[in-house]
Amino acid sequence: AQKITQTQPGMFVQEKEAVTLDCTYDTSDQSYGLFWYKQPSSGEMIFLIYQGSYDEQNATEGRYSLNFQKARKSANLVISASQLGDSAMYFCAMRERENTDKLIFGTGTRLQVFP
């Protein structure tokens, strides 16, 4: 069963606008972490933001924020004021902490920012 689901294969957004990338997850653990990574065309994997399952506040890192809805098991990434350099693949990932400690990834969303 897919544990991380990203339903948007591709998204377009105009420069300076905000965009939300969707991610839902499935786990029976109470303790887990959720992550977003960016992969530009150059190929490297860049960590963006982290949300712990017990964190009460939504995580924010600069223009990135994570909209964490625990009951819905969703962890959407919000990018505000999009820039051309934000064009990349974005991966949602989860790391369970109880029965296993794997870090597993969704299939990714390709974001294209246009002028």
Partner 1 sequence: DAGVIQSPRHEVTEMGQEVTLRCKPISGHDYLFWYRQTMMRGLELLIYFNNNVPIDDSGMPEDRFSAKMPNASFSTLKIQPSEPRDSAVYFCASSPDRGIEAFFGQGTRLTVV
Q: What 3 state SS string does the chain have?
A: CCCEECCCCEEEEECCCCEEECCEECCCCCCEEEEEEEECCCCCCEEEEEEECCCCCCCEECCEEEEEECCCCEEEEEECCCCHHHCEEEEEEEEECCCCCCEEECCCEEEEEEC
Q: Which stretch binds partner 1 (CB under 8 A): 17-25, 58-66, 72-80, 102-110?
A: 102-110
104 binds partner 1 (CB under 8 A): yes
9 makes contact with partner 1 (CB under 8 A): no
Per CB under 8 A, does 70 bind partner 1? no
Q: CB 102 → partner 1: shortest distance, Å? A: 6
| Residue 91 in the binding site for partner 1 (CB under 8 A) | yes
List binders of partner 1 among 11-50 (CB under 8 A).
31-33, 35, 37, 43-45, 47, 50
CB of 65 to partner 1, least distance (A): 16
Q: Examine residue 106 and tell whether it contacts partner 1 (CB under 8 A).
A: yes
Sign of the CA dihedral 23, 26, 28, 32?
A: negative
